C-alpha cells in the first residue's frame, strides 16, 4: 500500500484526499502539512496526521508520494525538497511559475531517480473526451480551426489567485488545462503562437485572453479564457474538412454536422438569403449533410491519473505516469510564448 502525504489542505488537498481514500485501493493518505495551524483540527478530524512542519512530513519514512496542493509559487521549493527526501511527487497544475523553475525540478527528479508528475486532470473531462474521440477517429476529417473556450462573469476569486507573486491569473490557472488538452490530442509541434492577454480588472494578473496556436501539421487552434463575459460562446467549436462540431457546455454533448457530398452541384446565378444576395453564404442543401448528436458520458469520479501513478511506482517504470515531463514543459513554453507575444505584439515562431 503506497502512502501519500499532502502539503496544502485547501480545496485541492481535500479533493485528492477524498479521491485517494475512496477510489484508489493501492494508495492511502497518511497525513498533511499546512502552513496555517488552524487547519490542523480539520486534518485530525479526517483521521490524518497533522504534521507540525513540512520536514516532519518529508522525513516520515512511511510516505512514498507527496502531493503539492499549495499556491503556485511554492511548487518549486516543495518539489525539490520532497524529491531530495526520496519521495515521488504529484504536483498540482500549473506545474511551475515558469520553465526555468521546471527545468530545475526536472533535473532534481533525474538526479534522485524519483517520479515528478503533474495533475492535468482535465484530460478526462467528458466534453474533451468527445472531441478527442472525433479527432482520433477522423469522423469529420481533419480540423482546420479548433476553438476551445471557458468564459465566466465573476472575475477571479479574491485570494492568492489575484496576486502575481503567487502565480495568479487565468493563463496559469485555466490556460494550462486547455493548452494541455490540445497538446495531448494533436501530435504535432506548435510552430506559431500569438496572443492577446488582458489585465481588465486586475492590475497584477491576467483575467482575459485569446491565444492562437498553429501546429506544424496545419491545424490552428484558438483558446479563449475570460472572467468578464455576460453572454458566452460554446465550450468547443470545431471546423474540419469533412464537417463541423459544437459542444455548448460541460454537459451538453456534441452536435455534429458531417458532410456527405463533396461534389456539390452549385446553382448558377445569385441566391437570395437573409444575408442578402450571396451564393457563398447560402445554407447547404439538407441532403448534402448528416446531423447527429453525441451524448455526454455519465458523470463519474475520474481517477485514472492516480491509478497510472500507482502503476508507475509499483513497476518502477516511470513512463507509466499520465503526464510526462516533456508534456509539462511544452505547456509551460506555450504560456511563456503567449505572454511574450502579447507584451511585444508579435507572432512567436518556434517549434514547441
Which residues contact ligand NAD (rule: CB under 6 A)? 7-13, 34-36, 39, 69-72, 74, 92-93, 119, 121, 159, 173
What span, in angstroms and rounded, lies between the C-alpha atoms of 159 and 115? 30
Beta carbon nearer to ligand NAD, 93 or 333:
93
Beta carbon nearer to ligand NAD, 13 or 243:
13
CB distance 42 to 79 below 8 Å: no
Residue 62 C-beta: closest distance to ligand NAD, Å: 20
Residue 85 C-beta: closest distance to ligand NAD, Å: 15
What span, in angstroms and rounded, lies between the C-alpha atoms of 44 and 63? 17
Three cell numbers written together for 308: 497510472
Residue 91 C-beta: closest distance to ligand NAD, Å: 8
Helix (H) or strand (E) holding 49: strand 49-50
Beta carbon nearer to ligand NAD, 13 or 143:
13
**Coil, helix or strand at residue 75:** helix
Q: Kindly report the CA angle at 203 between 199 and 207, in degrees rounded to 5? A: 35
CB distance 187 to 333 below 8 Å: no
Residue 240 backbone zone (phi > 0: left; psi -120 to 50: alpha; other: beta): beta
Residue nearest to ligand NAD (CB): 10
Residue 135 C-beta: closest distance to ligand NAD, Å: 22
Beta carbon nearer to ligand NAD, 9 or 339:
9
Residue 128 C-beta: closest distance to ligand NAD, Å: 13
Q: Which residue has the cell 491545424?
A: 219
Beta carbon nearer to ligand NAD, 67 or 348:
67
Amino acid at each position: 500500500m503506497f502512502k501519500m502525504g499532502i502539503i496544502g489542505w485547501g480545496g485541492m488537498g481535500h479533493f485528492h484526499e477524498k479521491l485517494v481514500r475512496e477510489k484508489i485501493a493501492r494508495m492511502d493518505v497518511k497525513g498533511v502539512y499546512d502552513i496555517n495551524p488552524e487547519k490542523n483540527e480539520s486534518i485530525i478530524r479526517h483521521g490524518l496526521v497533522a504534521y507540525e512542519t513540512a520536514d516532519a512530513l518529508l522525513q516520515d519514512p512511511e510516505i512514498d508520494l507527496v502531493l503539492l496542493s499549495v499556491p503556485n509559487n511554492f511548487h518549486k521549493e516543495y518539489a525539490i525538497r520532497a524529491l531530495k527526501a526520496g519521495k515521488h511527487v504529484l504536483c498540482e497544475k500549473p506545474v511551475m511559475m515558469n520553465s526555468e523553475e521546471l527545468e530545475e525540478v526536472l533535473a532534481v527528479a533525474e538526479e534522485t531517480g524519483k517520479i515528478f508528475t503533474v495533475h492535468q486532470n482535465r484530460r478526462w473531462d467528458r466534453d474533451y473526451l468527445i472531441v478527442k474521440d472525433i479527432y482520433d477517429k477522423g469522423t469529420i476529417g481533419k480540423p482546420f480551426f479548433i476553438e476551445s473556450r471557458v468564459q465566466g462573469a465573476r472575475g477571479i476569486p479574491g485570494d492568492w489567485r489575484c496576486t502575481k507573486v503567487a502565480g495568479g491569473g487565468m493563463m496559469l490557472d485555466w490556460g494550462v488545462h486547455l493548452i494541455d488538452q490540445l497538446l495531448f490530442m494533436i501530435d504535432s509541434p506548435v510552430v506559431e503562437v500569438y496572443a492577446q492577454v488582458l489585465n481588465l480588472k486586475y492590475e497584477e494578473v491576467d483575467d482575459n485572453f485569446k491565444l492562437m496556436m498553429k501546429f506544424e501539421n496545419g491545424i490552428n487552434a484558438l483558446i479563449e479564457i475570460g472572467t468578464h463575459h455576460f453572454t458566452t460562446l460554446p465550450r468547443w467549436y470545431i471546423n474540419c474538412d469533412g464537417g463541423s462540431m459544437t459542444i455548448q457546455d460541460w454537459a451538453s454533448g456534441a452536435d455534429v454536422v458531417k458532410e456527405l457530398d463533396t461534389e456539390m452541384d452549385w446553382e448558377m446565378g445569385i441566391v437570395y438569403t437573409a444575408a442578402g444576395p450571396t451564393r457563398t453564404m447560402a445554407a447547404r442543401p439538407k441532403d448534402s449533410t448528416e446531423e447527429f448528436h453525441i451524448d455526454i458520458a455519465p458523470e463519474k469520479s475520474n481517477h485514472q491519473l492516480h491509478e497510472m501513478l500507482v502503476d508507475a511506482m509499483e513497476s518502477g517504470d516511470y513512463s507509466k505516469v499520465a503526464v510526462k515531463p516533456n508534456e509539462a514543459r511544452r505547456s509551460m513554453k506555450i504560456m511563456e510564448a503567449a505572454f511574450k507575444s502579447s507584451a511585444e505584439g508579435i507572432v512567436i515562431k518556434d517549434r514547441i
